A = this chain, B = another copy of it.
Amino acid sequence: MWLIMLQLRDLPTPEVLQRFAQRYPAADVTAIASFLMLLRVATDLSVALDACLSKHELLQGRWWVLILLMRETDLTSTPSVLAEKLGVTRATMTGLLDGLEQGSLVQRISVPEDRRSVKIRLTAAGQAKLDAVMPDYYTRLRQCMRGLSEQQRNDLQAILGVIDHGMSAWDFNQSI
């Protein structure tokens, strides 16, 4: 579920793009340029986020779990649901929860009604950790986005929505 991608420090020059487009007629240079820049900025953001969280002794995966729990009105969820929402396997979620429970940021609570299942609850310490981290994170994020007008923020979300929709075509014949 990680945006683990190389940071691609080096975007192609227009000349290089042109050369690729000549060799490969399927190439759409403005699509490629947009795609590469999107990946690069997103990766940079993710790396910056890691750096911010590490100052609070948190890893990105565990932090997202805390946030997902805080989104719930009863501060509670289950490993399966959390894994689904975070886009990781349940095995990975087990590991994330082990780490968080070790730090007493969440607790596992057994569920009598279904003895296969476990409830995960954000502890007071977990909430306190978020209260320490979130203002820092939000402040940085605000700085990061401060150059964007309200119009541009809307545009960005609309554009991303179009890409997201177009992506369903990516896998159109994946099953080869």
> How many interface residues does A have (CB within 8 Å)?
87
Do B87 and A7 have beta carbons less than 8 Å apart?
yes
From residue 151 to 176 of chain A, which have CB atoms closer than 8 A to chain B? 152-167, 169-172, 174, 176
How far is B138's CA from A150's CA once the two chains are assembled, in angstroms?
33
- Distance in Å from the Cβ of A39 to the closest Cβ of chain B? 6
From residue 41 to 88 of chain A, which have CB atoms closer than 8 A to chain B? 41-46, 48, 51-52, 55, 60-61, 64, 68, 70-71, 84-88
How far is B38's CA from A148's CA once the two chains are assembled, in angstroms?
14
- Distance in Å from the Cβ of A143 to the closest Cβ of chain B? 4
Which of A4, A37, A44, A172: most chain B CB closer than 10 A? A4
A111 on the B face (CB < 8 A): no
Contact with B along A13-43 (1 / 0, CB 8 A): 0001000100111111011111101111111
Do A38 and B28 have beta carbons less than 8 Å apart?
no
Do B87 and A156 have beta carbons less than 8 Å apart?
no
26 A–B contacts from the bound complex (CB under 8 Å): A5-B46, A8-B64, A8-B85, A10-B84, A24-B134, A26-B135, A26-B139, A28-B142, A33-B153, A34-B153, A37-B161, A38-B38, A41-B42, A41-B163, A41-B167, A43-B87, A44-B167, A48-B170, A143-B170, A144-B169, A144-B170, A145-B166, A148-B166, A155-B155, A155-B159, A156-B159
Question: When A and B form their complex, which 8 residue pairs have the shortest distance between CB atoms, in order from nearest?
Answer: A1-B6, A4-B4, A7-B87, A3-B5, A42-B42, A2-B4, A3-B3, A10-B85
